[in-house]
Amino acid sequence: MDASKPKMSVQIKSPEAIAKMRVAGRLAADVLDMIEPYVQPGVTTEELDRICHRYMTESQGTIPAPLHYRNFPKSICTSVNHQVCHGIPGGKRLKKGDVVNIDITVIKDGYHGDTSKMFFVGEPSVLARRLVTVTQQAMQLGIAAIRPGATLGDIGHAIQRFVESHGYSIVREYCGHGIGRDFHEEPQVLHYGKSGDGLVLRPGMCFTVEPMVNAGKRFIKVLPDGWTVITKDRSLSAQWEHTVLVTQDGHEVLTLRAEERDDPANP
Ligand code: MF3
Ligand code: CO
Ligand code: CO
């Protein structure tokens, strides 16, 4: 989300709300699993949008949250190569060597689940593979810092330190966000910062961690379509996103995909 919204309060979700967040998170992850085989050379991002839209509305009974959100025209975001985030699906065909982020947000029973991952179209370049891996690890390190008593600064610091140690840069204009009945709630979850700074985490908080990492400089611009964010220097950019709940003794990732649910690293 946009890192410049007015301050509201950070909610502690009730057990009933948390149960619904688990369902919404799982359904959002399922859309990423469903779309994977379709992400091939020659497909258009608009076709991917239609397939996701149909799956969400007809198979899942979910509402695609992006559609008509602040006039966003499609049901998913597709951000290709030097596009950082909020790419609008269109008629351009994916080609071998592209990398694409697909960002899915569903609403089920009034609650949002928000998650994104990177896909390789054919074989990626060495740089693309490295950037995508570092970005996923950065998200995972940020999530690993989440527990009661830790702060938002601990998350940002873990991400920034790791990304910059690889010579890449963090986009600062967009951040993670609280999530629940609203798509974007308080708090803002910056992907950079200082350990110990900021809000102290408490059980029942729900927010996303979604670092955007550029191979080049951190600067971005928004295209005239009003949505698509690209790197100013046209360098490659990657993003991964999970929705996370703060639990009594740590955290729970609500948007694990099948491959992650089978991984002993995610108990
Ligand atoms: N899913 C994005 C996020 O992670 C927000 C997309 S807003 C949209 O916060 F309108 F572009 F869909
Ligand atoms: Co998000
Ligand atoms: Co998202």
The pTM of the full predicted model, rounded to 2 decimals, is 0.96
Nearest ligand 1 atom to alpha carbon 88: 11
Ligand 1 site, CB within 6 A: 1, 66, 69-70, 72, 77, 86, 103, 105, 114, 208, 210, 227, 241
Q: How far away, in angstroms, is 123 Cα from ligand 1 center? A: 27
Nearest ligand 1 atom to alpha carbon 74: 12
pLDDT band at 263 (very low <50, low <70, confident <90, very high): confident
Q: What is the pLDDT of residues 193-239, one digit of tens each?
A: 999 999 999 999 999 999 999 999 999 999 999 999 999 999 999 99
Ligand with the closest atom to the CA of 176: 2
Q: What is the rounded end-to-end Cα distance, in angstroms, of the chain?
A: 29
Neighbours of ion ligand 2 (CB under 5 A): 114, 208
Q: How far away, in angstroms, is 73 Cα from ligand 3 center? A: 15
Ligand with the closest atom to the CA of 3: 1
Ligand with the closest atom to the CA of 227: 1
213: closest CA among 121, 136, 116? Answer: 136
Per-residue pLDDT at 144 exceeds 60: yes
Residue 228, token pair as written in the block:
């698509």
Residue 204 CB neighbour total at 10 angstroms: 18
pLDDT band at 81 (very low <50, low <70, confident <90, very high): very high
**Pairing mode, if any, of strands 111-120 and 99-108?**
antiparallel
Q: What pLDDT score does 174 carry?
A: 98
Q: How far away, in angstroms, is 202 Cα from ligand 1 center? A: 25
Residue 123 CB neighbour total at 10 angstroms: 9
64: closest CA among 17, 22, 112, 97? Answer: 112
Residue with the smallest CA separation from ligand 1 atom 5 is: 1
The proportion of the chain whose per-residue pLDDT surpasses 70, expressed as a percent, equals 97
Per-residue pLDDT at 244 exceeds 70: yes
Per-residue pLDDT at 5 exceeds 60: no
**Across all residues in the chain, what is the average pLDDT?**
97
Nearest ligand 1 atom to alpha carbon 177: 9
Q: What pLDDT score does 115 carry?
A: 99
